[in-house]
Structure 1
């Protein structure tokens, strides 16, 4: 997903939900990123975001209501962020977790996505090999392997997701006990399309619900 898409989605989400939205970037594969730096970037963002938001909008941001959101590979990192308390051997380098997560069409199961060859083998490139080659890396980075999240977690996916089967989101939600909203007839990028009549109200309401639950 491009920065233009992210910015458009973030602006629309802020306008429709009434929430302050901050865009966080991580070092991606091909640009000096991938594991472990993308993971450490995510963990550092979790540690710093509440403090930075409070500085930028003093008195208007409640740290207890910070929600970490992401789409696709970013959705994986959002799910991973709320699992930092379970990551083995301090692999993240951090200890904090966000109060809540909104994960959109995520790569919720890295091993499964690798078997499917999703994103032209993006998972193996990200982790430096298949699960049989680097099992410890999958154990530390795969939301499906790490365990149940610490905070309120909601997943949104389209039933026609062409990049990652909705069955992946279903299985993750069932095994992890998180909430899943399925969008009939929607594809992988529809869930972040600010003009999607099907996705827009569901994603906006999911965010509002999570924000309220995170502070409860």
Structure 2
């Protein structure tokens, strides 16, 4: 396995680490998995959470990009966190030639708050149509860039309005977005994966049955709202708690790996 670290911006949190399995001469990696860690968008949790997953995926023959990003409290929040997810994924286009990456297939694997960001970025083509021009300009989503072609969300926070109502993790949503939805309704809608439905890429909303950190309703309501689209999301329940999903030895994670491999096929 090879590991290569690259910056995609000037901030200490704007970097990613590429984990690559060995390739036969003349070969190309079949797509890339972008690993997006969770931690309720706060700076005390970082890319070390995603490192074991990226290493495991590379061990099973998949190129993986473990992405770090600014969080609320270290330069992120609104709009920095969202800008970084876009820029960090777009960096893959620059790395593709030198590392034999096929960026026509990019699967986002995100845990918890990372699940939110993974599904949000999969809807980047729809963000400009939400009628929220100010928010669109602030984030700078624009056209072009590397597109996510599939998502595996691991107990993702996929319904921001409901997460705010439940005051999850002591107001993590308002902390991410700089204030409550009553004060910033536009950015709350723009940041909510529910607003970008329907998507035209497959999303697996995997949720652990004993998850006490992110309620199953976060995945259930997202999947229900997606059902009218051409590519409805699928709900997948797995045994274990919130962190079983990012433990390579647990069945919950192994199911996620299986789904990632399916999306890259």
TM-score (norm 2): 0.73
- Residue 76 of structure 1 is matched in structure 2 by 116
Asked whether the equivalents of residues 191 and 200 of structure 1 are also in contact (C-alpha less than 8 Å), the reply is yes
Q: Does 1:188 align with 2:230?
A: no
**Runs of 4+ in structure 1 displaced over 4 angstroms?**
none
Of the structure 1 ranges 76-85 and 87-96, higher mean CA displacement relative to structure 2 is found in: 87-96
How big is the shift at 1:153? 1.7
Are the aligned partners of 1:70 and 1:103 in contact in 2 as well (CA < 8 Å)? yes
Note the C-alpha offset of 1:78. 0.6
Change (3 A) 1:132 1:146: farther
Residues 151/202 of structure 1: CA separation in 2 closer, same or farther (3 Å cut): same
Q: Which structure is larger by alpha-carbon Rg, 1 or 2?
A: 2
Q: 2: CA distance between counterparts of 1:101 and 1:56?
A: 25
Counterpart contact for 1:85–1:150, Cα < 8 Å = no
Q: C-alpha displacement at 1:77, in angstroms? A: 0.7
Do the aligned residues in 1 keep the contact of 2:206 with 2:237 (CA within 8 Å)?
yes
2:213 pairs with 1:163: yes
Deviation at 1:55, TM superposition (A): 3.2
Are 2:97 and 1:55 equivalent residues in the alignment? yes
TM-superposed CA distance for 1:5, in Å, is 2.3
> Aligned residue pairs: how many?
206
- The structure with the largest strand share of the pair is 2
Structure with greater proportional helix content = 1
State the distance in 2 between where 1:2 and 1:199 align: 21
Q: Is the 8 A contact 1:46 1:81 kept in 2?
A: no
1-structure distance, mates of 2:70, 2:46: 13
Supply the distance in 1 between the matched residues of 2:252 and 2:156 (Cα, whole angstroms): 15
Unaligned stretches of 5+ residues in structure 2: 1-44, 227-231
Deviation string, structure 1 residues 158-179 (Cα, Å, up to 9, x no partner) = 0111111112201101212212
Which of 12, 28, 42 in structure 1 is aligned with 2:71?
28
Deviation at 1:132, TM superposition (A): 1.8
- TM-score, normalised relative to structure 1: 0.88
Inter-partner Cα distance in structure 2 for 1:136 and 1:172: 19
- Kindly provide the CA deviation profile for residues 40-93 of structure 1, in whole angstroms up to 9, marking residues without a partner as x: 1111123222332x13412xx222221122111111111110111111333431
SS at match of 1:27: coil
Asked if 1:45 is matched to 2:85, the reply is no
Pick aligned residue for 2:152 from 102, 123, 127: 102
Q: CA deviation at 1:149?
A: 2.1
- Pick the aligned partner of 1:3 from 47, 69, 90: 47
CA distance in 2, matches of 1:99, 1:2: 24
SS state at 1:165 partner: coil
Runs of 5+ unmatched residues, structure 1: none
Distance in 1 separating the partners of 2:168 and 2:56: 28
> Which structure would you say has the larger RCO, counting Cα contacts within 8 Å and 6 or more residues apart?
1
